[in-house]
Amino acid sequence: MIITIDGPAAAGKGTLAASLAKEFNLAYFDTGMVYRAVGLEMLLNGYELTDNEKAEKFAEQLTFPRMMELSKNPEFRSLNGSRAASAVAAMPKVRQALLEMQQNFSHNPVFADGSKADGAIYDGRDTGTVICPHADIKFFITASPEVRAMRRFKEYQEKGQDVDYKEVLEQTIARDKNDFARAGSQPAADAIHFDTSDLSISEVFEQVCKIIVEKQKTLEK
């Protein structure tokens, strides 16, 4: 079974996807990591985030092990890292270069330890439209920019990063513009929508689980 979870930054996709992967014993692919990896390569090598050619090269060369290695860098999920990821994610050739790697995972999903899985949960923008248009279930998770910015702000604070809420809100709005300006970034027509502004993660989790269990029954028939 392939499940995709799309939606804007900080909508709660990651937490939900990771919990679902555990609950249904599925492999988990956080697709934002591919853009974070390319963005971080640009930062580490001192290239301008407007240098499309360099970003394309890093995207073409990216491997799973390299992505995992980069993910250990504290900048990977920092405000700077997020900005870099959003910039490279807006480059069509970078997206194209990273497409195959993301799609291959659905044909051969594996857990973090490399063992084979029966299916995968994809988390990220365009997973239900471009990466896995044939997914069995597609969710679109959203929340207001203010709620999402507050969640990110708290995450940064917990990591001891000194950031300003206003700056995080501005970045959330800027990233929405950047991320949604591209083709393929709209929700899939057959996606099930959830607005998490007024729902707790556990409430969303429960509702989503019910939908998946129902779907599993129809797939088993």
Taking CB positions, which residue lies at the least distance from ligand DC?
32
- Does 126 bind ligand DC (CB under 6 A)? Our answer is yes
Name the residue nearer to ligand DC (CB basis): 129 or 212. 129
Name the nearest CA neighbour of 72 among 32, 37, 38. Answer: 37
Query: Residue 47 in contact with residue 54, Cβ under 8 Å?
Result: yes
CB of 34 to ligand DC, least distance (A): 7
Name the residue nearer to ligand DC (CB basis): 107 or 221. 107
Pair of tokens at residue 57: 């090269």
Answer for which of 9, 70, 135, 141 binds ligand DC (CB under 6 A) is 9
* Binding map of ligand DC across residues 67-106, x = CB under 6 A, - = no contact: ---------------x--xx--x-----------------
- Does 148 bind ligand DC (CB under 6 A)? Our answer is no
Answer for which of 12, 109, 124, 187 binds ligand DC (CB under 6 A) is 124
- Piece in contact with ligand DC (CB under 6 A), picked from 17-25, 32-40, 108-116, 208-216: 32-40
Type of residue numbered 199: L
- Does 151 bind ligand DC (CB under 6 A)? Our answer is no
